[in-house]
Structure 1
Amino acid sequence: MEEIALNLYKEENYHLYEKAIFYKLPIVIRDVILIINFDTELNMQGILGFLENSTGLFLDDTIETLERIQAEEDYKILKAIRSILQKNNVSTSDLRVNVDSQEEYSVNNFIETHGSEYDEMADEICKIADRLYLYSEDRNIFDNLVRYVDTNKSYLIEELTK
């Protein structure tokens, strides 16, 4: 996990985010990448940044990963956030298109990027996101991830030696 975290954001590894390559990786490695990306985005830009950036394109995968690593509360929270998006007929792809249409190097907040019609939705998402592990002293998804990787170590080794 440490090796992945140290090298994930190096330019030579950007290709790993291409869906055709990403889905060929062993599931345990995909799960590690998804949790690292989720945590990084939450720490840097919060839940709205996660949803609108390229990491948000993997929202469904991240939800499934949270379930696999048994981070139950965060799994339920992210599912609720996805439901809010669905209720508003918004996808993370829609959000990403809006971000990509911004002028390069521009600094905008969520509402400036997506429009005031997203204001209520953004508030609802942020309210629920305040319950994520990041803001809790008694939960750390990396504890879940370490247990998950340890439990699946033999499967991972088998996949890597194919």
Structure 2
Amino acid sequence: MAKEEALSSRRTAMTELDKLKKELASVTDQLCEANHRLQQSSSNLSLLQSKADLNGKSTSAEVQALQSVIQAMTSHLESLKRELADAKNEAWSAQSSLANIRGSLRGLLERHRMFSELDYTSEAVGGVDSRELEKLLADRTEESLMHSK
């Protein structure tokens, strides 16, 4: 029963982790796109200001409009940055929960091996192949978020 609950919890945690990874990728893409827009707006503003200096025909309304666009883009980028940080924190939390579940499952397996009166000549424990179960419990570095950028 405990093994089933642990496996179910692990699957739930993995699903949540995958969902958070997708959300993190989406927010990262949005942040990159917003950064690109900000750079374009800044270069457009610089170009317009240089033309205004040369021609003397630029109005302050155009400059103010471009500055307000840059300000709006900056605030949007800041909100995306906060969302990205929140998504990373949630992903790390899910990864921590998954590690706790794996540890609990390892403990249950070891306790079952130590205190069960069953003959362990085979590798099967209560209908579960212990090697396969241990493969599930192996820490996989490709799932680690701690080393991601």
Same fold (TM over 0.5): no
Q: Which has the higher contact order (CA 8 A, sep 6+)?
A: 2
Q: TM-score range by the shorter chain?
A: under 0.3
Higher helix share: 2
Q: So what's the TM-score if we normalise by structure 1?
A: 0.26
Provide TM-score, normalisation by structure 2.
0.27
